[in-house]
Structures are given as structure tokens and as C-alpha cells.
Amino acid sequence: MANNELCSLNFQGCDGSVLINSTSNNQAEKAATPNLTLRGFDFIDRVKSLVEKECPGVVSCADILALVARDAVGVIGGPFWRVPTGRRDGRISNSTEALNNIPAPTFNFSALQTSFANKGLGAHTIGISHCSSFNSRLYNFTGKGDQDPSLDSFYAANLKKNKCKSPNDNTSITEMDPGSFRTFDLGYYKNVLKRRGLFQSDAALITNAASKSSIINIVSSPPQVFFQVFAASMEKMNRIEVLTGSMGEIRKHCAVVNRAHTIGIGHCSSFSSRLYNFTGKGDQDPSLDKFYAANLKKACKSLNDNVTFVEMDPGSFRTFDLGYYKNVLKRRGLFQSDAALITDAATKSSIISLVNSPPEVFFQEFALSMEKMGRIEVKTGTTGEIRKNCAVVNS
């Protein structure tokens, strides 16, 4: 949970973006290679579900993640720290940002220092990692089939024998902090001093005199000193780029941004070409209602707006109803694919029929279509697998 929180703030801020699932047109942060060993997403979802029953639309996923991370550290013997609440959830989650912003396991000290300085983050005291994150240290450090000389030889031999048995192992996992990877303690720092840090970026911590001196001081001090410093850093981290007020949203489900076609929002970048450059000549989509288009331009003020979002279903974007179809018939569908629905006579007739029927008819049709969709190319019997962790294919 603590690792989840570290990853969730690295890009958009403390906004719970790491909790969002990927979609057909977006690979989310949790799908990025450095995040594949993160755990506990289902637990966060269960907590959110219980909280929503008591006070719907009030407590953000970002707040839940911050609170659960704090309590998870406490459960394994770590310190307590204050967690101010009131965060809102971000709407953007992108794996590319994760890859660009998470400190790489191959970073040297200077790169680490720069990366952490940007956000004020720390290192690992608990957790696991895929072999793919450090295999080059064991099998091909300089591209000549050699081993990283800064890695303790006995530790390297153990990793090769028992964990990562080939340079192409992309599925096996190993403890970042052998002997205490489920415990919050100073074991990580002690291992780093023994040249048993799993990543090249761990080894880099003792290549700098000031950093090495700090680690020695931490290891030589009572655990309470480290706990106090760690708690203070977590409090500081919890204030990084927090969304409040009208920014962001309060997600109903932590894994999904509040959007759909009968409910939700859309980013300007998904449809701005309809407003500003439909045929590549700086023109507007003629199939779009001109009053609706003028209103959209007030929100999406340029073709290159990649940040602003608008309601997909104006007037009822938080409600599951027939508003979307009514808007489509008025030529006020947000996307070009929406407008396409009334270019076909049969489809347009079906939409008119739905709009003129009682809502229960649409609800019944929608439920049946969802049941049908749930049967598409389902794996059963000996096909596929039962994953132990939903984010990782079984090794």
C-alpha cells in the first residue's frame, strides 16, 4: 500500500491515478512495468465500496489510499503519521508518464537525486520486484555478459540460483529487502551497506559520501529516529500536488474515471478536431449542432487543449438515463462516432424508438446487451488461467 501511494503521486500528484484501470485506448499507470508488482488494488476497492455506502460521493480514492498506506505501514511495525484529508481524484492515468517519472532501477546517484528532488520522495523498506528490473546486473551489466561488480557476489549467486535463473525472466519476483520484505524496519539500509541492494539505483546510494554517511547514521541510530524521519517525509509527500476544490473529482469506483456514454465526461482532445479542424482545413464538423459547438468552444478554447474536459451528456452526465440518445438526435453527440449513429436509417429509427419508450424499456435493453457482452470470447475449462494476482500473469 505504501508503494502504491508512492507511485500514485509521482506523475499527476496525490490523486490516486495509480488505481485507475487501463481501457481499450489508454494504458494506465498500473500497467507500466515498474508498477506490475504493486498489490492491494482489490482491498482499496473494497474499502471504497464500504465508504460509498455510508457517505456516497464524499471521500476520494486518493484520501483512502493515503490513509490505508499509513495504516498498512503501522500494521507491519512502522510509524504513525498525520494524514490531512480533502483530496480529490485525478482523471488522468498514463503508463508513459509512469515510465518517464518513476526513478529507473538503473539510475546513478545524480539521476536519483534529481528525480527525488522533483517530488521529495524516498526509497523502499518493504516490497518485491520483477527480475526484469535488475536482471542486467546479474547477466549483462555492460553488454558483455558480465555481472555488476558493485553487487555482493554471494547475493548475486543466490539471486541467480533461486530467483532469476535466466536473463530473459520477465515474470519471477523477488524480495527487495531479503529477510524482512514484509516488515517495516532498517533491513533495506543494512543490505545497501552490504552491497546487497537489489537495484543499481540502490547501489548508487553508497557511491555518494553524503548519502552513505546518512545511511550509516540511520542504521546506527535507534529505530525510532528512522520512524520519525520517515513519518515526516510521508506527511510532506501527502501534500504534493493535491487536487482540491473544483479540481479533479470524487470517483465512484477507484479503478474507473467517472465517465461513460450515458454518464461521464470527455477530454477536449477526444473531439476538438470536430470544432477546429474537421477536414484539415481549420473547419468545423457540419453535422455538429452550431449552438452546441459554440458552447463547446468556450470550454475547449484551442485545438491543442489536452487538459480540459466537458460533460459527454450535458444536463445528466452523472445520471444513467436516455439523455445521451436525446442529445444525439439533436446533433449534440460529443464524438464523431456519436454523430455517426444517426447517419444510418435503421440505427436512427432504433434511437427514436428508445427515446419515445418508457425508461424501463431502455434499461431492459441495456441489461440484455451487457449480459451478451459478458459472454464475448470468454475463457473457460483449460483455456486461460486463474490469476493469483489480477495485475500479473501467473509465472
**3-state secondary structure string, 117-131?**
HHHCCCCCCCCEEEH
Give the total number of structural domains in the chain.
2
Output DSSP code: residue 172. Answer: -
**Ligand-binding site membership of 177 (annotated):** yes
**Ligand-binding site membership of 130 (annotated):** no
Residues 106 and 213 grouped into a single domain: yes
Q: Is 114 inside any structural domain?
A: yes
* Domain range enclosing 326: 265-373
* Least confident interval from 4-13, 33-42, 234-243, 316-325: 4-13
For 236-278, the DSSP string reads: HHTTTT---TTSSB--SBTTB-S--SSS-EEEGGGTHHHHH-S
Q: What is the pLDDT of residue 316?
A: 64
pTM of this prediction? 0.48
Q: What is the pLDDT of residue 113?
A: 54
Residues 198 and 340 grouped into a single domain: no
Residue 49 has pLDDT above 50, yes or no: yes
Highest mean pLDDT among 163-167, 185-189, 388-392: 163-167
**Ligand-binding site membership of 146 (annotated):** no
CATH of the domain at 118: 1.10.520
Residues 202 and 305 grouped into a single domain: no
> Each residue of 124-157: pLDDT tens digit?
445 678 888 889 999 999 999 999 999 999 999 9
**Ligand-binding site membership of 15 (annotated):** yes
Residue 340 has pLDDT above 70, yes or no: yes
Q: Is 365 inside any structural domain?
A: yes
Residues 216 and 280 grouped into a single domain: no
Residues 91 and 180 grouped into a single domain: yes
Mean per-residue pLDDT for 77-105? 75
Residue 55 has pLDDT above 80, yes or no: yes
Strands (E), the chain: 128-130, 173-175, 265-267, 309-311
Separation between Cα atoms, residue 119 and residue 33, nearest integer Å: 21
Residues 68 and 208 grouped into a single domain: yes
CATH of the domain at 283: 1.10.420.10
Residues 200 and 279 grouped into a single domain: no
Residues 219 and 276 grouped into a single domain: no
Output DSSP code: residue 179. Answer: T
Q: Is 104 inside any structural domain?
A: yes
Q: Is 154 inside any structural domain?
A: no
Q: Is 155 inside any structural domain?
A: no
Domain boundary among 218, 237, 256: 237
pLDDT band at residue 10 using 50, 70 and 90 as cut-offs: very low
Residues 351 and 224 grouped into a single domain: no
For 57-110, the DSSP string reads: TTS-HHHHHHHHHHHHHHHTT-----------B-S---HHHHHHHSPPTT--HH
Mean pLDDT score of the chain, rounded to an integer? 80
Q: Is 283 inside any structural domain?
A: yes
**Ligand-binding site membership of 103 (annotated):** yes
Bigger pLDDT: 114 or 336?
A: 336
**Ligand-binding site membership of 148 (annotated):** no
Residues 11 and 101 grouped into a single domain: yes
**Ligand-binding site membership of 13 (annotated):** yes
Q: Is 21 inside any structural domain?
A: yes
Q: Is 147 inside any structural domain?
A: no
**Ligand-binding site membership of 344 (annotated):** no
Bigger pLDDT: 273 or 105?
A: 273
Q: What is the pLDDT of residue 117?
A: 53
**Ligand-binding site membership of 29 (annotated):** yes
Residues 222 and 109 grouped into a single domain: yes
Residues 16 and 94 grouped into a single domain: yes
